[in-house]
Amino acid sequence: MGLAAIKTDDPLTDDAPDSAFAAAHAARLNQGAAAIDAIMSDLSFDERVERTHRVLRGAADAFRGKLAIVSSFGAESAVLLHLAASVAPDTPVIFLNTGKHFAQTLSYRKKLAAEFGLADVRDIRPDVATLSRADPRGDLWRRDPDACCAIRKVRPLSEALDGFDAWISGRKRFQGGLRGALPVFEASKGAVKVNPLAAWTMDDIETYGVRFRLPAHPLVEQGFASIGCWPCTKPVEAGARARSGRWRGSEKTECGIHQI
């Protein structure tokens, strides 16, 4: 069910341009998200887990066969993947295998897929011809990280999501920056993004990991609190914002996939 299918009840006429439908639908989604957020804001941990199950189940039902999860298999990824596996383990999981991941992330991806019974993890790689043309030495991240993210993450994800009407991300508000006002549901470029952990706190993440004995990413014990590609990820001091180790020393805070 894409946005085009949802517009039946829209007060706009059928002559209105798609962008107007999309804007109206986005406004309604954001109102709905605010209502859900209000319900989610004052919950116990168990209630929050139960509500998150409902969000995931609702998304799986509403977008049956047209829903994907996007995961970096990073420091906090196990929580969303475990929750999703308990609700809809056959949901495709898209992993952007950029060619720049730590070896530990690649082994963690295999471990979680096997332990959680994730039946459909898809490794999405950058286009080889594009890489040889735009990044023949593999050091574009040093000169132009936005361009590097574009060819290794944004474009491959955009292509991988073709055919899906909705996708799930593991972003949380406490991660700060642009994520500080993250809704649970958001309309984005013709699809719906679902952020079931938007209202979760770091305590929630840790409590869930302990309760379900989730395996930790091997680099967490070395001080890596948020883990992406190795050239752009550094360990952080205890108490520092987790994502402060990403693209350290530059203004960049996001890879760009959430503008899709």
> Which residue numbers are catalytic?
255
Residue 148 in contact with ligand SF4, rule: CB under 6 A: yes
Q: Which of 36, 118, 229, 257 binds ligand SF4 (CB under 6 A)?
A: 229
3-state secondary structure of 193: strand
Among positions 25, 48, 152, 193, the unique one binding ligand SF4 when judged by CB under 6 A: 152
* Amino acid at residue number 232: C
CB of 198 or CB of 232, closer to ligand SF4: 232
Minimum CB distance to ligand SF4, residue 231 (Å) = 5
**Is residue 258 near ligand SF4 by the rule CB under 6 A?**
no
Alpha helices in the chain (DSSP H): 3-6, 18-40, 45-62, 77-87, 103-116, 128-134, 140-143, 145-149, 155-160, 202-211
C-alpha span between 93 and 109 (Å, rounded): 11
Stretch that binds ligand SF4, among 6-14, 29-37, 141-149, 237-245 (CB under 6 A): 141-149
* Chosen residue from 3, 70, 94, 145 binding ligand SF4 by CB under 6 A: 145
Q: How far apart are CA 132 and CA 215, in angstroms?
A: 36
101 Cα distance to chain centroid = 17
**Contact residues for ligand SF4, defined by CB under 6 A:** 98, 100, 141, 145, 148-149, 152-153, 228-229, 231-232, 255
